[in-house]
Structures are given as C-alpha cells and as structure tokens.
Copies of this chain bind each other. A is one copy, B any other.
Amino acid sequence: MIIVDISWSIDAAMTAYKDKKMVNVEQIKSFEMHSVRESSLRLGAHTGTHIDAPAHFLVDGATIEHTPLSATVGPCVVLDLMHVDEAITKEDLVACSIKPGSRVLFKTKNSLRLAHDLFDYGFIYLAECGARYLASQKIAAVGIDYLGIERNQSGHETHLALLSSGVVIIEGLRLANVQAGEYFLCCLPLAVVGAEAAPARAVLITL
C-alpha cells in the first residue's frame, strides 16, 4: 500500500489566502518548566488544506461537522490540467473522464508554488461553467491545488454552483508530486461544530 500525503504542513509562515497570516503555534508547557511539551494552536478555518462547507456562502447552509465523509473518502481521479493558464472551463473538463459520484482533483500550475510563497493573486481557478458542469455530472467532491477555487467573482458563482448542488469543495491540496490518474482519496476535516470550514489532512492511497 502506498500512501501519499497531499496536504500542506501548517506553520506560521505558510502561504495564506491574500497573505492574511492567521496561524500561531504557542508552546504552553516546556521540558524546562513542566517536563513535558504542550502546545496551543490558533488558525483560520481555511488554513492550508481545508474543506468549505455550504455555510461558507449559503445563509442556511450546513456547517462542516455535517459534511458527509462518504464525499471525501473513496475513489478519485487526479486530472492533469497543467496546460490551463487562467480558468478551468467546461471545455477542459468535458475532455476528461469524470464519473458520477467520484471525487475530482485538479493538478494545475498552482502546484508549482512553494509552501511559503507569497499568495498568488493570479492562481488557476475553476470557472463558473466548469463548476456547473461538475455539478451536472453529480460528482461527490472537487479539489484544487490552491487556497481558493474561485477568483474575482463578486457573486461567488463557482462556490454557489458547487455548494448548492452538494458538491464538497476541497481547497489547498498539494499535488506537485502526484501523477494524474486514479487513486483512493481519504480527506478528513476536523469536525468543528458550527464552523463554515475546517482544516483537513488528505492522502491518496494506492492499494
């Protein structure tokens, strides 16, 4: 069995959405004082690899503890979209093999970014037409290799097309070392009651 970690490591210097750094790891017990190490964590719900729940953009949307794990645990396909320069469109996706009920992960030029780079305001994103196509295909989840799945959409059309159709959104994947193809995905967010998102750890498993 091969397990590939596709999550971002979490530290204070990691790339943050629009460079709003929110991570702090504070040591509250030390060997010198307490003969044990203990830490407290502070982080945004959208830190690094994370899942957006419907409550992020829908007033009556479900919060993250209600996200069905069956959406983010199961067979997935990593799509090679390294040729895309701006937005992933319906045309890009129609050309791919996308199965209903599956999980679809985008490997794009975003994966060339390093963990501590400044935020890239020109990141590759999913266009509204692509989101609508994925929703029509009734996929379970979509994942992208950057901290957002939409860009410069005042109406948040990409998020709304996905969340209102029950497609789970995974943001902040790390796919630089992953080849396109089929895998078993296990992406598990913390079950933070009442939150609109939560950090997650994600792995690809090859049996």
Q: CB-nearest residue of chain B relative to A31?
A: B59
B41 touches A192 (CB 8 A): yes
> Can you list 10 A-B pairs, Cβ within 8 angstroms, ordered by A?
A1-B74, A5-B69, A9-B65, A25-B195, A38-B44, A39-B45, A73-B186, A188-B188, A188-B203, A200-B201
Contact of A188 among B37, B192, B201 (CB under 8 A): B201
Contact of A55 with B by CB under 8 A: yes
Known A-B contacts: A25-B192, A25-B193. Give 17 more (CB < 8 A).
Answer: A3-B70, A7-B191, A9-B192, A9-B193, A25-B195, A38-B44, A38-B196, A39-B197, A40-B42, A41-B41, A41-B192, A41-B198, A69-B203, A186-B188, A186-B203, A188-B203, A189-B201
B25 touches A194 (CB 8 A): yes
Contact of A107 with B by CB under 8 A: no
